[in-house]
C-alpha cells in the first residue's frame, strides 16, 4: 500500500490545487502538485485522477494524456489521510481497500481510451512507481528513481505491481526489484525496459509535449484499439489474440481516420487525422 504518515498540522488545500489539470492542444495534463509530501496521493486526490482519466476517455476533444508532478518526487506512494472512516477493522477490509483504491487507480490508466504518457520528474515509489509503469509510454528525467518499497515495510506489493512488472521485465527481474526494494536509477530503468526514454531534467516537459503532440495528431481510435490489443495480448492465447486483432481492425475500418489514412496513401499525401 505504501503509506505516508499524515501531518496533523497540515492545513487542508483545495483539491484543484493538489491535482492540477489543463487541456492544451487536445492533450489532458494531470499534474500531482503536493511537492512537500513528494506527491504522495491521498484518497480524494486519487479519486480526482481516476475521474480525469475517465473524462479523457469520453471526451473527443482529448486525444492524449500526460501524468506528471511538481517538485523532487513523482509520487511517493499512497497517503491514507482523507479516506472514509471504516471503524473497527474486520476480515476483508484490507482487500477491499486495495481493490477500491490502488487497483482502481492503476486500472484507470490501463483502461483509459487515450494513450497515457508518464513524465517522471523524480522518485516514484510503491504505487507511484506502478502509476508510471501502467502508462503506455514512460519518459524519465535523469534524476528520477524507481523503488518497489513494499518489502522494506513488510508489505506485499499492491496496485498491480506483481501484474505489471513481470510483463515489462520478466519474473526474475521483477522478483529482484520486489524482494530487495533497491532504488533503480532512470538509466537502469531504461536498460531494463521500464522506461522508454531518459532525458535531462530540463528537457522532460519539452519531450513529453512533443510525444503528446504526436499522439494527439494521430488516429485516436486506432491507437485506443492498439492499446487494448497490446494490454490483453500477454493474457491471451494465439487464437484469442488473432480474433481480437481481426475484430479490432473491423471496428477501426469504420472510422473516418482509417478512411483518411488509406486515402492519404493512395493520393501520396500525409493523412490529416481528426480523432474520429
Per-residue pLDDT of the chain (276 residues; tens, 9 = 90+): 444 444 433 435 788 899 999 999 999 999 999 999 999 999 999 999 999 999 999 999 999 999 999 999 999 998 866 556 666 778 888 888 889 889 999 999 999 999 999 999 999 999 999 999 999 999 999 999 999 999 999 999 999 999 999 999 999 999 999 999 999 999 999 999 999 999 999 999 999 999 999 999 999 999 999 999 999 999 999 999 999 999 999 999 999 999 999 999 999 999 999 999
Say how many Å lie between the first and final Cα of the chain, rounded.
39
Residues forming a β-bridge with 27: 24, 64
Side-chain half-sphere CA neighbours of 123 within 13 A: 17
Nearest 5°: phi and psi at 2? 55, 85
As a whole number of angstroms, the distance between CA 194 and CA 139 comes to 10
- Cα dihedral across residues 209, 30, 112, 128: positive or negative: positive
The residue count of the chain comes to 276
pLDDT of residue 12: 57
Cell of 92: 476483508
pLDDT of residue 94: 85
pLDDT of residue 8: 38
CA distances to 93, 103, 105, 241 from 100, rounded to whole Å, are 10, 7, 8, 29
pLDDT of residue 90: 85
pLDDT of residue 9: 36
- Cα dihedral across residues 143, 46, 114, 240: positive or negative: positive
Burial 140-179 (b: 16+ CB within 10 A, else e): bbeebbbbbbbeeeeeebbbbbbbbbbebbeeeebebbbe
CB 53 within 8 A of CB 68: no
Amino acid at each position: 500500500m505504501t503509506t505516508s504518515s499524515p501531518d496533523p498540522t497540515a492545513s487542508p488545500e483545495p483539491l484543484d490545487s493538489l491535482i492540477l489539470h489543463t487541456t492544451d492542444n487536445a492533450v489532458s495534463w494531470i499534474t500531482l502538485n503536493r511537492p512537500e509530501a513528494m506527491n504522495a496521493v491521498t484518497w480524494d486526490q486519487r479519486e480526482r485522477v481516476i475521474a480525469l482519466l475517465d473524462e479523457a476517455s469520453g471526451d473527443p476533444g482529448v486525444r492524449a494524456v500526460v501524468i506528471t508532478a511538481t517538485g523532487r518526487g513523482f509520487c511517493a506512494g499512497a497517503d491514507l489521510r482523507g479516506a472514509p472512516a471504516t471503524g473497527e477493522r474486520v476480515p476483508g477490509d484490507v482487500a477491499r481497500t486495495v481493490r477500491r483504491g490502488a487497483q482502481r487507480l492503476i486500472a484507470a490508466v490501463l483502461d483509459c481510451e487515450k494513450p497515457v504518457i508518464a513524465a517522471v520528474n523524480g522518485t516514484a515509489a510503491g504505487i507511484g512507481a506502478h502509476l508510471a509503469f501502467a502508462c503506455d509510454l514512460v519518459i524519465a528525467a535523469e534524476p528520477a528513481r524507481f523503488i518497489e518499497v513494499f518489502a522494506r515495510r513488510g508489505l506485499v506489493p499492491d496496485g498491480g505491481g506483481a501484474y505489471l512488472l513481470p510483463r515489462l521485465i520478466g519474473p526474475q527481474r521483477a522478483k529482484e526489484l520486489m524482494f530487495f526494494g533497491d532504488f533503480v536509477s532512470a538509466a537502469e530503468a531504461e536498460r531494463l525496459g521500464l522506461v522508454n526514454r531518459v532525458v535531462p531534467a530540463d528537457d522532460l516537459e519539452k519531450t513529453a509535449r512533443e510525444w503528446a503532440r504526436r499522439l494527439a495528431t494521430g488516429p485516436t481510435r486506432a491507437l485506443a484499439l492498439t492499446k487494448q490489443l497490446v494490454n490483453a495480448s500477454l493474457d491471451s492465447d494465439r487464437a484469442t489474440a488473432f480474433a481480437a486483432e481481426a475484430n479490432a481492425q473491423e471496428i477501426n475500418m469504420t472510422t473516418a481516420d482509417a478512411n483518411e489514412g488509406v486515402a492519404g496513401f493512395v493520393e501520396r499525401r500525409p493523412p490529416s487525422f481528426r480523432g474520429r
